[in-house]
Amino acid sequence: MPVDLRPVYINGYSHLTALGDEGNIAKQAQQGIAKQALINLEIADIPAIHYYQLPTANCSSLISRAIENSSLPKEDLLRSHYLFGTSSMSIGNNEAETITNGDISLMRPDQEHQNIIDDMTAVGPIFTFNTACTSSANALLVAQRMIATGIIEHAVIIGIDRLNKTTLSGFSALQLLSNKIKPFDRARKGVVLGDAISVIILTTEPHHEYHYSLLGGANQGDTHSPTGTDEAGQSITQTINEALLNTQLAAEDIGLIKAQAAGSPTNDLAEANGLKLSFSTLPPVTSLKPYIGHTLGASGCSELSLLISCFRAGFIPACPGFNAFDEGLAITPLTSHHHIIPRYTLLNHFGFGGNNTVLVLESGH
């Protein structure tokens, strides 16, 4: 494991989900979860779908807000590296063009990101990561490594996934949807998806008002199944263990686990098994998906920014939706907010195609 890596801090962020923005989201999370919309896709026999929807959102303005919130000079950040993480890419635009023109319309998948950056008159290189639900978690990990190894000084990481018919109908086809997210609960039936645009700025200097460091993490592929990870948890525990190794931490150092825990019957089982293999005594576990929905490729950024907002407000958010203990999982997530912020938090993100990513956050030290 390399030793002479530079520290990497969160030096600005913005957040927009159905629960709110970075200015009010902690307060909203203290009070409850976001309101769901019912989406009628008008496709075959698909019933109305529960969804955490944003009315309108402009990605450029979210990036600008994160830049304004940062203590770095704007002109530096306009030349920064821009790393996008998304599962849906340009599919929403393709749908709109196809509806308008009648013909199947396909834009280059990352063209939308180029347009966003052009709108802002930014000139930095653009990378787009597309590894399903781990997309922006991987973008964060790559940016952290680029800065830690001295390749770049700062990076702007954007997690973005918006409502589109293709993704919703695809999840429906796979029978993965539910009307309520119940992480690790005996009655869990599936996920509720949600919109998110969230931006994180990473650099070698902490923000003057807060002190959160992205220590690193790990990514592992899993060839168990195209739709889910190994239920025995082997691949998940390997990813967690490698993340601990890469950040030079022991399992006992971890004070909180932000679980993937989307309420999927099989993937929650896999995560529970993986956690139990890595931790002889589990630290507190929570899931943020009940608050904002599963924001897919954006979840790396949206859940990190939500968590930091809550930490800054002095609490660890509880895991709503958990009511009935499942003996098969043997995990009880937090049922009320806690008020002691841990030094080290593990953030789990697992996705389609067997892509597992674990990040480690250090708080306020």
Partner 1 sequence: MYIYQTGTFLQPANDKRTSLKEHLKAANCSPSLRRAGRFNQLAVLGAKACCSGLDPLSECNLIITTVNGPIANTGILLESVIQQRQIPMPFNFMNSQNNSACFYVAQALAIRGSSLVCMHSTAPIESAMVLAKIQWASANSRPVLVGHVDEWTLPSYRHPTGYSTERQTLSMEGSSWFLLSNEPMTTQPMARVLELTLSISADEVITTLNQHNCHISSVTWDLDQASKELLISIIKSTDSLSINTHSPLEGTEQFSRRLKESKELLYCRLHQTSGNFNLVLLKRNVA
- Residues in touch with partner 1 (CB under 8 A): 1-2, 5, 42-46, 87, 89, 91, 94-95, 97-99, 101, 103-111, 114, 123, 125-132, 138, 142, 144-146, 148-149, 151, 165-166, 169-174, 216, 218-221, 223, 226-227, 242, 246, 351-355
Q: Is 126 helix (H, G, I), strand (E, B) or coil?
A: strand
- CA dist 287 and 275 (Å) reads 14
Q: Quote the least distance from Cβ 329 to partner 1, whole Å.
A: 25
Residue 86 vs residues 128, 177, 268: alpha-carbon distances, Å: 8, 19, 22
- CA dist 34 and 292 (Å) reads 6
- CA dist 315 and 97 (Å) reads 44
Could you tell me which of 88, 144, 112, 52 has the C-alpha nearest to residue 352? Answer: 88
Q: Which two tokens stand for residue 163?
A: 């409502």
Give 46 or 334: the residue with its C-beta nearer to partner 1.
46
Q: Which two tokens stand for residue 54?
A: 């944003």
Q: Quote the least distance from Cβ 41 to partner 1, whole Å.
A: 8
Could you tell me which of 271, 290, 292 has the C-alpha nearest to residue 282? Answer: 271
Give 43 or 340: the residue with its C-beta nearer to partner 1.
43
Give 74 or 108: the residue with its C-beta nearer to partner 1.
108
Residue 159 bridge partners (DSSP): 85, 198
- CA dist 63 and 328 (Å) reads 42
Q: Quote the least distance from Cβ 5 to partner 1, whole Å.
A: 6
Q: Quote the least distance from Cβ 59 to partner 1, whole Å.
A: 17
Q: Quote the least distance from Cβ 129 to partner 1, whole Å.
A: 6
Q: Quote the least distance from Cβ 225 to partner 1, whole Å.
A: 9
- CA dist 129 and 159 (Å) reads 10
Give 75 or 327: the residue with its C-beta nearer to partner 1.
75
Contact 36, 221 (CB under 8 A): no
In sequence order, the 6+-apart residues with CB closer than 8 A to the CB of 335 are 318, 319, 322
Give 33 or 117: the residue with its C-beta nearer to partner 1.
117
Q: Is 258 helix (H, G, I), strand (E, B) or coil?
A: strand
Give 15 or 113: the residue with its C-beta nearer to partner 1.
113
Give 137 or 275: the residue with its C-beta nearer to partner 1.
137
